[in-house]
């Protein structure tokens, strides 16, 4: 399963093999990104050719993610320009009517993001892990995003493609 490590600024610090495959599947140009500078996940979400472009259910996940990012920016103000850029991208794709709502009432236990890819529609949900009692201060700001297949078809593609 794909996984990535991000810091408090949403800079991607590490990707496992599944994460590398998923990044290339969602954004073919991701393989050409430089390895010597931090890649910011929020920048990649906001970019017109970025990770949000293939999201099939953006009207469902976009406003929820925006609400989450606004909350993070309230305690990490340096994120605000990137959150504003993400909001602008959502406005251009979805309009403004649903973007200023807070968390909507969930219809399922987890929010599933669906992507249109050359492998067909892939569905994932994420879980973030943080270090609750880090022994090293640098670990306090790190999160690991674990990305799980939300259906059997997606799981089958992952088994076939990531070995």
Phi-psi region of 41 (alpha: psi -120 to 50; beta: other; left: phi over 0): alpha
pLDDT at 70 exceeding the cut of 90: yes
Give the C-alpha separation, 42 to 9, whole Å.
9
Supply 84's token pair: 């504003």
Instruction: State how many domains the chain has.
Output: 1
Residues 72-122 have pLDDT tens digits of 999 899 999 999 999 999 999 998 776 665 445 555 567 899 999 999 999
For 81-88, which contacts have Cβ atoms below 8 Å and span 24 or more sequence positions? Answer: 82/10, 82/40, 82/42, 82/43, 82/46, 83/42, 85/42, 85/43, 85/46, 86/42, 86/45, 86/46, 86/52, 88/46
CATH number, residue 78: 3.30.450.180
Nearest to 72 by CA among 131, 128, 146, 124: 128
Give the C-alpha separation, 28 to 159, whole Å.
20
Q: Which of 1-10, 18-27, 54-63, 131-140 has the lowest mean pLDDT?
A: 131-140
CB distance 40 to 12 below 8 Å: yes
Helices (H), the chain: 17-26, 41-46, 58-75, 80-94, 152-161
Whole-model pTM? 0.85
Nearest to 33 by CA among 48, 8, 9, 12: 12
For the chain, how many residues are written? 163
141: pLDDT confidence band, cut at 50, 70 and 90?
A: confident
Helix-strand-coil split of the chain, %, nearest 5: 45, 20, 35
- What domain range is 10 assigned to? 3-161
């Amino acid at each position: 399963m794909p996984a990535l490590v991000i810091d408090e600024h949403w800079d991607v610090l590490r990707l496992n093999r599944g994460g590398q495959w998923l990044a290339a599947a969602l954004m073919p140009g991701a393989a050409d990104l430089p390895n010597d500078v931090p890649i910011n996940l929020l920048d990649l979400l906001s970019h017109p050719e970025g990770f949000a472009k293939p999201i099939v259910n953006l009207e469902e996940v976009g406003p929820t993610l925006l609400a989450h990012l606004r909350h993070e920016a309230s305690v990490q103000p340096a994120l605000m320009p990137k959150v504003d850029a993400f909001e602008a991208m959502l406005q251009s794709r979805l309009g403004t009517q649903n973007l200023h709502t807070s968390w909507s009432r969930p219809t399922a236990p987890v929010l599933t993001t669906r992507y249109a890819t050359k492998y067909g529609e892939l569905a994932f949900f994420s879980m973030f892990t943080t270090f609750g009692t880090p022994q090293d201060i640098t670990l306090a700001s790190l999160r690991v995003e674990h990305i799980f297949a939300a259906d059997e078809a997606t799981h089958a593609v992952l088994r076939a493609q990531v070995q």
